[in-house]
Chains A and B, each alone.
Chain A
Amino acid sequence: MSTVATPAPAPRRRRRRTGLQRRQTRIGWLLLLPALAAVGFVAIYPLGKTVYESFTNQEFLQGLEPTKWVGLDNYRTLWHDTVFRDAAWLTIKFTLITVSFEFVLGLIIALVVNSNFKGRGPMRAVMLVPWAIPTVVAAKMWQWMLDDVFGVVNDLGMKLHILSHPYAWISDPATALGSVCAVDIWKTTPFVALLLLAGLQVIPRDLYEAASVDGASQLQQFWRITLPLLRPAIAVTLIFRTLDALRVFDVFSVFFGNRPDTQTMAIYAQSTIVGDGHVGYGAAISVAIFLIISVFVVIYMTFMRVTEE
């Protein structure tokens, strides 16, 4: 019994080991049962159900015609669906813009905060604050700041002579995407910085000392020490951020509702399922989103593995 937690049982207990092993296995699975049941019921079963529904013409209000198997019909429609194509393109643009800005800004902030200075603790706390508030609330704050008449962004821009005239940031299609990106970048950059900071702090200090003794400049130290050793943290951060950005819903929904020119994939799926009740077609959109996200994950994984060698 006493070896329950220790990885290597004492040699003299080897005789009892099989019994112990069996006991551990039984108790282990028993303890896992509630968690596995919950995950199975709330995640795995619905995922299977979504895939199944995507091959049917299911409607939420099943009054008119019975649900039947339609094969690949939904996917064929989806392939020619220009609304979805626009939504996918918009989502990918949003992802590329926000993730690259967040990464570069986050890295700069992480490097700054990583140095020893008075007030580093409060600084880190301040950086957590935008992360902690609801995305919807952040969107509301920015919507008000971007107001065309009473907004502070226009006012500041005019006062500093950056803007020649006030903009209707959100309703103008030319600036709509940019204003959504601004909210997302504001809300998540500090978080990206914190993740990178955690990675920076495990890099041993003596590496830098040795490098500067050898006469390496700070820039060389950055490219030769910091960046290579930070790679795992960078990989994780980029993957998490990309996945998050590809399923973006909240900010777009608050800013634009279902405005057709600014739909993301998630908004299109949600309005198809909940708004229109086309469960079957909505499921096909969901599966497509899932596949697109998987493609991004695979790209990241292979890219990171290749560069590691």
Chain B
Amino acid sequence: MSTAAETTPAVARPVSRSRAFRRSPAGRVLAKVPFWILILAIFVYALFPFYWALRSAFMPATELFNTPIKYFPTDPTLANFREVLSSNFFQRALLNSTIVAGSVTLVSLAIGSLAAYALGRFRFHGRTFVLYLMLSMTIFPQIAILGALYTMISGFHIVWFINFPKLYDTPWALIFTYVIFTLPFTIWVLTSFMRGLPGDLEEAAYVDGATPLQVFYKVLLPLIAPGLVTTGLLAFIAAWNEYLYAVSFIQSPSHYTVPVAIVSFTAKGGNAFQVPWGQIMAATVVVTLPLIAATLVLQRRILAGLTAGAVKG
């Protein structure tokens, strides 16, 4: 809003005293003060919970569970991190989440880029219908099909002798069901990337006698690589963060994903009555750091992908 005022051309117009003050050098600095206070407030609001998690993760339990509470660890310790990272339970959870989120991402990118090729570069009847079908899928409430998925992954009879395997309590159950929220989104965003490409390269390839599939992976795929990275990261984050299906379809602790593990975290060899907040906070820091790093590195692209997915819808 302030830019609009700044860029106002100096038009001959009676200038009031307050306006004259606002234009003077000192006034300019002073007028900015509320603005910077607002910026600072947003910064603190967004980041304070992270600071608090870090502060608690570096505190020994004796200091953590003591009043009055301290805002900064006086003798920081890595004990909480050591406990968490050495626990078998948490290592398994990290591995499980990586496998699940990684597979879901790869599957949706593979299927999604083929579909985006069709939707973005071909003209045929029913294309618009499919696009809208995918769009409606992105706002599909996952809870609406929980019951059906629950019975499906418990194994069921399809036709004749074909049975759907029992996926309950395996990572497959999650890989299978997570596709519902990663794939439609992937298709929608990749289609907009495909549409943005110029037609000349493709035409040249066709003239040279390439087949549509060759055009796809030799010409188009390298060109939409940035789009693949963005959508891949978004799909990965969505799968990594998912909780409802993970807590419903997984039973044994050795198959827990990270969110389920963090919720059911208990102290190692523990005291059942004291929640190990130091370790939980260390775990949250460990889990969120890679996500934060990836978002910071790719923030421009993520924003482009998110707005392509949301605003253009």
List chain A positions with a Cβ less than 8 A from chain B. Answer: 1-2, 4-7, 21, 24-25, 27-32, 34-36, 38-39, 42-43, 45-47, 49-50, 53, 58, 60, 109, 111-117, 119, 123-138, 140-142, 144-145, 147, 149-152, 155, 186, 190, 194-195, 198-199, 205, 208-209, 212-213, 215, 218, 221-222, 232-233, 236-237, 239-240, 243, 246-247, 249-250, 253-254, 265-266, 269-270, 273-274, 279, 282-283, 286-287, 289-290, 293, 297
Contacts and interface: CB of A to CB of B under 8 A. Distances in A.
Contacts, number: 315
B148 A28 contact: no
A282 B146 contact: yes
A158 B237 CA distance: 37
B118 A27 contact: yes
B67 A150 contact: yes
Interface string B211-255: 010000000000000000000000001001101100110000000
A132 B295 contact: yes
A42 B71 CA distance: 48
Contacts of B118: 27-32
B128 interface: no
B123 A43 contact: no
A144 B197 CA distance: 49
7 shortest interchain CB distances as A-B pairs: A35-B115, A46-B148, A31-B118, A134-B241, A49-B148, A25-B124, A46-B145
Given A24-B124, A112-B35, A53 B49 contact: no
Contacts of A283: 147-148
Nearest to A209: B7
Contacts of A38: 111, 179, 183
Given A32-B115, A208-B4, A218-B4, A133 B146 contact: no
B172 interface: no
A214 B244 CA distance: 54
Given A6-B199, A53-B151, 20 more contacts: A2-B203, A5-B199, A28-B119, A49-B148, A109-B42, A112-B42, A116-B3, A126-B42, A131-B295, A137-B262, A142-B49, A145-B52, A150-B65, A150-B66, A150-B69, A198-B307, A218-B5, A250-B243, A286-B143, A289-B144
Nearest to B313: A236
A199 B151 CA distance: 42
A6 B139 CA distance: 31
Interface in B289-313: 291-292, 294-296, 299, 302-303, 306-307, 310-311, 313
A129 B140 CA distance: 25
Interface in B51-73: 52-53, 56, 64-69, 71
A307 to B, nearest CB: 19
Contacts of B35: 112, 115, 117
B187 interface: yes
A147 B278 CA distance: 13
B11 interface: yes
Nearest to A284: B147
B47 interface: yes
A176 B160 CA distance: 52
A50 B147 contact: yes
24 contacts: A1-B207, A25-B125, A28-B123, A35-B111, A39-B134, A49-B151, A115-B1, A123-B43, A125-B296, A126-B42, A129-B50, A132-B291, A132-B294, A136-B263, A147-B277, A155-B68, A155-B69, A186-B46, A186-B49, A190-B46, A246-B141, A249-B244, A269-B147, A290-B141
B111 A270 contact: no
Interface stretch (B20-28, B80-88, B279-287): B279-287
Interface of B: 1-5, 7-9, 11, 13, 35, 38-39, 42-43, 45-47, 49-50, 52-53, 56, 64-69, 71, 111-112, 114-115, 117-119, 121-127, 130, 133-134, 137, 139-152, 154, 176-177, 179-180, 183-184, 187, 199, 202-203, 206-207, 212, 237, 240-241, 243-244, 247-248, 258-259, 262-263, 277, 280-281, 284, 287-288, 291-292, 294-296, 299, 302-303, 306-307, 310-311, 313
A140 B263 contact: yes
A215 B13 CA distance: 10
Contacts of B303: 124, 128, 194, 198
Contacts of B46: 126-127, 129-130, 186, 190
B243 A195 contact: no
A71 B247 CA distance: 31
Contact of A29 (B124, B139, B141, B154): B124
A200 B101 CA distance: 33
B310 A243 contact: no
Given A4-B212, A129-B295, A282-B146, A152 B3 contact: no
A126 B45 CA distance: 10
A50 B145 contact: yes
B45 A186 contact: yes
Contacts of B127: 28
